[in-house]
């Protein structure tokens, strides 16, 4: 019998942003809110088209009712459950139903675009209104429309959208898209756009999943269910990998496993340089479920818990829900410390209300502590939840996107107010909570000594510090070559911050992605950093790197190259020390 020819493998190249290899089927996430193409239909098609739409409304109704029941079971009758009643009213709104049917019959246009256009007109009427009740209605209409459109296109909406583990293929993945995925089933990401410093890439590294960005035209060329191999080391996506390709990857995997085992054996040992300087290597986290892998990584503390992701998963979570999540994290890491960063929404992390009002320059706009100070209700809900959780472990709190000491004082004032209120309600709280400020805007680095006088630690957020110092958007691949962690201006700000912390007798940590870059560990040690917070998967490697270095050599290298050296020269000097000390870890 003749054998069927195997389809040839097909390769796409992109930019590798998170290491590792995955072999699985893909799930293509198309833009959720794709505008349907207007299409004329014949009079014969009208009834069938309307029947398809009614079926989509029906499935949507079932879906909303199921959600309402689940919420009522968990939280009882309350404002959460009311949301679903509002959604059902929108879904069954008579005037909308009649108008869609009339337009389809009279204009002979397919129902997808007629329904979509009508709902958009309702949304436009509410968009940007100051009244928060009406703005919420906008979100309700958007949510219902989105569900109906998905069903009209024959797609499922609710996560999990896939039964088997998959590699996610999408044009882009915002932080709010990421939190909606069933992460237990995701093995990797391949995106058409994106950059190494986007939060999708950061999350992939945190979860230890391979990710490749800037892979062109995969959304149109791949289909959900296609078999692919994703190589997050080389930046490759391979459809229908051949037997030879798979065999090559298997032997590479065996070599890497052996290396990982050797590293893992030492992961709980401290990171002490050859000449006796101890460095604390903490882990960054975004989700409660990561605590297990962080404990296994050898990190004793969480240096940065990005709380925005829990918020995006459930923007309406109340103080008690939040306190339960924060407590679970603290308990899992006890006696280690967990530094929770208060909400750093804005930029690319938009919650539904922020997404309503597009800003021309979101990274220079309503973001981080400034957005929190202007929304004291949201901010205090989080601060009270953190204070409630504080009895369950060792809590640190830090404020993001601080541009000067006044914001730190104002935030501290609100924290004290929350503490006083909770105390009068008889709530137990820890006496000692370490307070910190993130240094990620040049103005904060330049006034670090004033900020250091107000806090227990400073934490350098270099992902942002680099973009704000060099005026290079961290998400924009066109200017990616200008995004230089070793730029002399960036390094001066890092040094100013470390020195200000030392003079004030407070800790300084660096939790940006440059702390995970093995080439830069000699530079960071030489600049005086003694605490780094990195992706959990990198902890054993970074610790091992520190163990191979001599602090004195790192300091001498920095003293020699910093005064006059260009970005490239500093990078090369640090790279040389790294290669000489632990070249095999970097291959």
Chain residues binding ligand PEP by CB under 6 A are 202, 304, 306, 344, 440, 461-464, 511-512
How many CA atoms lie less than 13 Å away from 473 in the CB half-sphere?
13
Residues forming the active site? 199, 511
Minimum CB distance to ligand PEP, residue 530 (Å): 18
Structural contact between residues 509 and 457, judged by C-beta atoms closer than 8 angstroms: yes
- Residue 304 interacts with which of ligand PEP, Mg ion, none, CB < 5 to 8 Å by class: ligand PEP
Q: Where are the beta strands (DSSP E) in 198-301?
A: 211-213, 227-231, 236-239, 271-272, 278-285
CB of 463 to ligand PEP, least distance (A): 3
Shortest CB 112 distance to Mg ion, Å? 40
Q: Could you tell me the sign of the dihedral formed by the alpha carbons of 224, 226, 227, 231, in that order? A: negative
DSSP annotation of 573: H
Q: Report, in Å, the least distance between residue 468 CB and ligand PEP.
A: 9
3-class DSSP state for residue 278?
Answer: strand
Q: What's the distance, Cα to Cα, between the start and end of the chain in Å? A: 47
Q: Give the closest residue to 38 by CA, choosing from 99, 107, 102.
A: 107
Q: How far apart are CB 458 and ligand PEP at their closest, in Å? A: 13
| Residue 306 binding: pick among Mg ion, ligand PEP, none (C-beta 5-8 Å cut-off by kind) | ligand PEP
Q: Where are the alpha helices (DSSP H) in 471-566?
A: 488-504, 521-526, 539-548, 551-561
CA distance 272 to 282: 14
Name the residue with tokens 């990401």.
189
Distance CA 186, CA 30 (A): 16
Residue number, 461 or 565, with CB nearest to ligand PEP? 461
Given the complex with Mg ion, which of 440 and 456 has the nearer CB atom? 440
| Nearest CA among 350, 358, 275, 276 for reference residue 315 | 350
CB nearer to ligand PEP: pick between 104 and 299: 299
Give the nearest distance from C-beta 514 to ligand PEP in angstroms. 8
Cβ-in-10-Å burial (0-12, 13-18, 19+) of 482 comes to middle
Partner whose footprint covers residue 297, from ligand PEP, Mg ion, none (CB < 5 to 8 Å by kind) = none
Nearer to Mg ion, 228 or 304 (CB): 304
Cα angle: 94, vertex 100, 106; to 5 degrees: 130
- Tell me how far, at minimum, the Cβ of 100 lies from ligand PEP, in Å: 42
Residues 229 and 21: beta-carbon distance below 8 Å: yes
Rg (CA), the chain: 26
Cβ neighbours of residue 440 closer than 8 Å, sequence gap 6 or more: 400, 401, 402, 460, 461, 462, 463, 464, 465, 468, 512
Report yes or no: 439 and 459 within 8 Å, Cβ to Cβ.
yes
Q: Which parts of this chain interact with Mg ion (CB under 5 A)?
A: 440, 461, 464
Report the partner that residue 511 touches, choosing among ligand PEP, Mg ion, none (CB closer than 5 to 8 A by kind): ligand PEP
CA angle, residues 419, 322, 203, in degrees to nearest 5: 120
Smallest distance from Mg ion to CB 462, Å: 8
Q: Is 322 helix (H, G, I), strand (E, B) or coil?
A: helix
Nearer to ligand PEP by Cβ, of 319 and 337: the residue is 337
Stretch (H or E) spanning 273:
none
Query: Are 14 and 202 spatial neighbours (Cβ–Cβ below 8 Å)?
Result: no
Burial of 436-472, coded b for 16+ CB within 10 Å and e otherwise, reads bbbbbbbebbbbbebbbebbbbbbbbbbbbbbbbbeb
Using CB positions, name the residue nearest to ligand PEP: 461
Judged by CB, which is closer to Mg ion: 418, or 510?
510
Q: Closest CB to Mg ion among 303 and 461?
A: 461
Provide, rounded to whole angstroms, the least separation between the CB of residue 341 and Mg ion: 8
List the structure tokens of 446. 């330049």
Could you tell me the smallest distance in angstroms from the CB atom of residue 306 to ligand PEP?
Answer: 5
* Contact partners, residue 261, CB within 8 Å, separation at least 6: none
Based on CB atoms, which residue is closest to ligand PEP, 345 or 557? 345
């Amino acid at each position: 019998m003749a054998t069927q020819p195997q389809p040839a493998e097909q390769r796409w190249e992109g930019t590798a942003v998170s290491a590792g290899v995955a072999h699985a089927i893909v799930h293509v996430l198309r833009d959720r809110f794709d505008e349907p193409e207007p299409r004329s239909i014949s009079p014969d098609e009208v009834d069938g088209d309307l029947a398809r739409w009614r079926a989509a409304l029906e499935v949507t109704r079932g879906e909303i009712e199921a959600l309402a029941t689940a919420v009522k079971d968990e939280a009882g009758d309350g404002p959460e459950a009311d949301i679903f009643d509002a959604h059902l009213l929108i879904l069954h709104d008579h005037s909308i139903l009649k108008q869609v049917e009339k337009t389809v019959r009279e204009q002979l246009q397919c129902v997808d675009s007629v329904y979509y256009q009508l709902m958009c007109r309702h949304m436009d009427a509410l968009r940007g209104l100051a009244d928060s009740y009406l703005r919420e209605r906008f979100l309700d209409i958007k949510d219902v429309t989105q569900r109906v459109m998905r069903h009209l296109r024959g797609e499922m909406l609710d996560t999990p959208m896939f039964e088997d583990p998959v590699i996610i293929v999408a044009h882009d993945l915002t932080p709010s898209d990421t939190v909606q995925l069933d992460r237990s089933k995701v093995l990797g990401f391949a995106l058409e756009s994106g950059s190494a410093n986007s939060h999708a890439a950061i999350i992939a590294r945190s979860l230890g999943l391979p990710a490749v960005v800037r892979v062109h035209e995969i959304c149109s060329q791949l289909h959900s269910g296609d078999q692919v191999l994703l190589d997050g080391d080389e930046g490759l996506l391979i459809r229908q990998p051949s037997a030879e390709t798979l065999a090559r990857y298997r032997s590479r995997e065996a070599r890497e496993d052996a290396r990982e085992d050797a590293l893992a054996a030492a992961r709980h040992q401290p990171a002490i340089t050859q000449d006796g300087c101890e460095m604390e290597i903490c882990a960054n986290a975004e989700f409660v479920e990561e605590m297990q892998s962080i404990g296994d990584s050898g990190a004793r503390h969480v240096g940065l818990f990005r709380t925005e992701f829990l918020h995006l998963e459930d923007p309406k979570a109340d103080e008690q829900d939040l306190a339960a999540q924060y407590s679970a994290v603290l308990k899992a890491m006890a006696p280690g410390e967990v530094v929770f960063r208060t909400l750093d929404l804005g930029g690319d992390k938009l919650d539904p209300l922020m997404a309503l009002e597009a800003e021309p320059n979101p990274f220079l706009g309503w973001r981080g502590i400034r957005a929190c100070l202007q929304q004291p209700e949201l901010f205090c809900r989080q601060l009270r939840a953190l204070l409630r959780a504080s009895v369950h472990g060792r809590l640190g709190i830090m404020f993001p996107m601080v541009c000067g000491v006044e914001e730190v004082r104002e935030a501290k004032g609100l924290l004290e107010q929350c503490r006083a209120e909770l105390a009068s309600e008889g709530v137990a709280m820890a006496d000692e909570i370490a307070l910190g400020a993130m240094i990620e805007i040049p103005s904060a680095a330049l006034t670090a000594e004033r900020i250091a006088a107000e806090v227990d630690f400073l934490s350098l957020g270099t992902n942002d510090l680099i973009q704000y110092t060099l005026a290079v958007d961290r998400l924009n691949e066109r200017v990616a070559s200008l995004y230089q962690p070793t730029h002399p201006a960036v390094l001066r700000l890092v040094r100013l911050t470390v020195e200000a912390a030392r003079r004030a007798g407070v800790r300084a940590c660096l939790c940006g992605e440059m702390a995970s870059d093995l080439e830069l560990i000699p530079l960071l040690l030489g600049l005086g950093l003694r605490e780094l917070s990195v992706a959990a998967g990198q902890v054993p490697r970074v610790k091992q790197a520190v163990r191979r270095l001599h602090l004195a050599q790192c300091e001498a290298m920095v003293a020699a190259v910093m005064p006059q050296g260009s970005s490239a020269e500093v990078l090369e000097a640090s790279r040389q020390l790294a290669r000489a000390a632990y070249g095999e870890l970097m291959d």
